[in-house]
Amino acid sequence: MPWQVTPELISDICEATSLPVNILASPAAPSAADLAKCGVARISLGAWPVFDMLARLEATAKDYFTTGIAKSG
């Protein structure tokens, strides 16, 4: 269930169905521990890790081609 971010709503959904509830993680979503307390069966990361990695790669490449210096970490 994408974009359902209030613990109360998530708990209501989990209580209303016998099916496992899957939540799409987002920066606005409750923590994994809080989602488990709500009864969520699975948490999907979706494309968030890829988007984060691509943003870091872009920043690193821009920095390298601007300064000509490869930095670590």
Give how far Cα 57 sits from Cα of 51, 52, 70, Å.
10, 9, 12
Please give the Cα distance from 7 to 58 (Å, whole number).
35
Cross-strand partners of 23: 43
Structure tokens at 51: 């988007």
**Which amino acid is present at 23?**
I
Beta strands in the chain (DSSP E): 22-24, 42-44
73 confidence band (pLDDT: 50, 70, 90)? low
pLDDT of residue 20: 97
pLDDT, average across residues 58-72: 89
**Residue that is written with structure tokens 């613990």 in the block:** 7
Residues counted in the chain: 73
Q: State residue 10's pLDDT score.
A: 93
Per-residue pLDDT tens over the stretch 10-51: 999 999 999 999 998 888 889 999 999 999 999 999 888 899
